[in-house]
Chain A
Amino acid sequence: VRQESRFRSNSPPVIQETIDGETIMVNLDTGSYYWLDPLASYVCGSLEDGASTEEVVDELSRRFPAERQAVEREVRGLADRLVEEALLVSANGAERVERAPREFPALHAFEAPVFKTYTDMQELLLLDPVHDVGVEGWPEPR
């Protein structure tokens, strides 16, 4: 991930819900799903809102000034993972979206954001080739 990289949510096919600060993301194309702890949710949400990785690093470094190196490593690492898993896609050149500020998780010290990947549902998708159809109608019978 380059400096000043900006992203947007890869939705669709990614859907997500945030509950009590934790986020569940599902990539409907691959069947992989993800659990993000509150700090990972915050970082991911900020990137989806249009903040660059550098801006997120700066913000967290202001909150945890003694941890700048770890903050930079972890935020960039998480951004890389989110892109690798096709949860975020590049949106360089896009303007930052003005949204209500996200609530920062209650942390007394910087802890590495936790991002868990689950792939146990992928087999189901491979077994069931899904063909979405548009409003024009159902598939023609053979």
Chain B
Amino acid sequence: LARAALTPAPAEHLPLLTEAADRAACAAGGYDERHFRIARDTVRLRCAGRELAAVLTDAVGHLEVGPTPRAALTVHVWAGGSPPWGGRPEIRRWSGDDGLSFMQSAEDWLEALDAGRGIGHLWLRSLGEAHHVRVAPLSPILAAWLPSRGVVHAHAGAVGRADGCVLLAAPSGRGKSTTALACADAGLGYLGDDTCLLAAEPAPTAYALYRLVQSLPGEGAPKQIRHMPAEALLREAPLRAIAIVEPTGRTETRTSTASAGEAVAAIAPSSMLRLPAPQEAVLRGLARIAASVECHRVLAGTDRAGLAAAVEALL
């Protein structure tokens, strides 16, 4: 991007990223365009080239829908070349009437959202370094944009059945994935192990986002990524309860009642501080959801079947 081409107005800056994406798409043989049902809206991804599209959409393939002329959000994705915006690690945010816009960049990637136009951008220096983008693509863009659609991008897992699900809350590395996978192995549907989408209206509902699961097979071992099988995936379900997961190291799992405030404290801070989300909207949304469902503490034991049974009993 040429310095001289930029003006101070936000609306003038982000279209230049679209131009950069267009040039990359031209060089890659055109855009590979796909549509996805993200919570209650259709999101269009325009990836510069098929290889990039295959990598980026792997985690959300279960949400793919047919083309629609009117997507609520369009995201341009391209890879290669030099950083389109400086390359120094930083985050910038700008709140307007249409929601939270942001631009965050580093040496190897850039993500941006123009909330007013409903346009996002993702640039990667190379596909090989895009581990986080493969497992949880577009997280910053979706976390910033979804609250404007009445949906919160929550740092939580969720499991259940079509008629009801349980949200799994815990800090990173403290049992969400273990619990979600134990429940999936026991036959419960999987909506997510680390991220899911939540809406308070018209009734508390959880939506799936990603189908790739990261796991650590053992101490010091590299992370493994695997697809959840299609038959285990649940796209959405009414939210019945929030479970605050606390591993105990004991064999058996016990549950006890928790307050809505404790549930919000377990979910909200990481949901609104990890990503460029509109923080007050996220806190308010999660508080409304927690106030309208049962909240529990799951003192998670090592017996996986017992853990799954304890979670299922909350449905």
Give me the interface of A with B, judged by CB distance under 8 Å.
Answer: 15-24, 26, 28, 31, 33, 35, 116, 118, 120-121, 124-125, 128-142
Contacts and interface: CB of A to CB of B under 8 A. Distances in A.
B230 interface: no
Nearest to A22: B261
A24 B93 contact: no
B265 A19 contact: no
B72 interface: no
A133 B93 contact: yes
A23 B287 CA distance: 10
Given A132-B93, A138-B103, A141-B85, 13 more contacts: A15-B283, A17-B284, A19-B290, A24-B264, A24-B287, A125-B273, A128-B104, A129-B90, A137-B8, A138-B94, A139-B90, A140-B3, A140-B8
Contacts of A136: 8
Given A131-B91, A133-B94, A138-B92, A31 B273 contact: yes
Interface string B278-298: 011001100100110000000
B92 A121 contact: no
A26 B56 CA distance: 33
B180 to A, nearest CB: 21
A137 B9 contact: yes
Nearest to B286: A17
20 contacts: A17-B264, A17-B283, A17-B287, A19-B261, A19-B290, A20-B259, A21-B261, A24-B264, A24-B283, A24-B287, A28-B273, A31-B273, A35-B261, A35-B265, A121-B269, A138-B10, A140-B8, A141-B3, A141-B6, A142-B86
B92 A131 contact: yes
Contacts of B150: none
Interface string B241-275: 00000000000000000011110110011101110
B13 A137 contact: yes
B1 A141 contact: yes
A21 B104 CA distance: 37
Interface of B: 1, 3, 6-10, 12-14, 85-86, 88-94, 96, 103-104, 171, 259-262, 264-265, 268-270, 272-274, 279-280, 283-284, 287, 290-291
B272 A26 contact: yes
Contact of A142 (B10, B88, B268): B88
Nearest to A139: B92
Contact of B259 (A22, A26, A31): A22
A128 B91 contact: yes
Contacts of A138: 8, 10, 13-14, 92, 94, 103
Contacts of B12: 137
A142 to B, nearest CB: 5
Contacts of A18: 287
Contacts of B264: 17, 19, 24
B13 to A, nearest CB: 4
Contact of A15 (B94, B104, B279): B279
Contacts of A131: 90-93
B92 A133 contact: yes
Contacts of B90: 129, 131, 139
B251 to A, nearest CB: 27
A111 to B, nearest CB: 15
A137 B101 CA distance: 11
Contacts of B103: 138-139
Contacts of B262: 22, 35
A128 B105 CA distance: 11
Nearest to A17: B287
Contacts of B270: 121, 124
A26 B270 CA distance: 11
B89 to A, nearest CB: 8
